[in-house]
Amino acid sequence: MNKIIFCLSFLIGSSVLAQDKKCLTQVNFNIGKTFTSFMYEDAEGNTNKNLSYRSGTSYSLNLGFKLGAKHMLRPEVIYQQSGAKSTVNNAPIEWALNYIGAGVGYLYTALEKESFSLSPGLVLNANYMMSGEQTIGTNRFNITEQDLLKPIDIMASLTLNSRFKVTDNLFINFDYRYGFGLMDIENIEGDENEKTRNMGHMASLGLSFNL
């Protein structure tokens, strides 16, 4: 956990340093869809094969700090809906989780043309669960009020970003991410071998402005 906090602090500190060097070059606004589930293991290492994806939405604002010709840091704030679906004894179960978070990404410009660019990278986010609900059949449970899951989650995401030029200063921005939780979000006392982590895909579309 200390290593995760150190890495996040290092990346955020790097973005602040980048700001001091006045290399802020982009502002990006994105709206997207999320398709999320859980990575679950019980005390014996068995997975839950009944888990499936649920869809949601995401909204993000990030800044682009250019570090050299091909490297960029992108601090961001993000709201995203997560969760999963499953069944137990033919009863449907759904977890609907709403997170707000902050983080920073690193992008490497692998391809850059006059009207198009393609950049793979890595994003690290610290997220806070604003609200959550678990539905079992017709019964609903407030996850945050009943402390059914931990409120804090750390996510790492592999990302692929592309920008399409509209004008010299305006671009269409497309971003795909595959993310996985670095923390167990189970709030169960006693059996620490039972693990649940967030995971999923996010595809977003938005506007990117050159500064």
Q: What is the mean pLDDT of each run of 10 residues along the chain (211 residues)?
A: 49 48 87 97 82 97 94 97 93 96 98 96 98 95 93 97 97 98 82 84 98 91
pLDDT value at residue 5: 46
Q: How far is CA 7 from the centre of its chain?
A: 16
Here the tokens at position 129 are 């669960």
Contacts of residue 174, Cβ cutoff 8 Å, sequence gap at least 6: 161, 162, 163, 164, 203, 204, 205
Cα–Cα dist 92/136, whole Å: 6
pLDDT value at residue 189: 57
What is the DSSP pairing of strand 139-142 with strand 170-181? unpaired
Q: What number of helices (H) and strands (E) belong to the chain?
A: 1, 10
pLDDT value at residue 46: 81
Cα–Cα dist 80/98, whole Å: 6
Question: What Å distances lie between residue 176 and 86, 90, 129, 157, 193, CA to CA?
Answer: 25, 34, 22, 9, 32
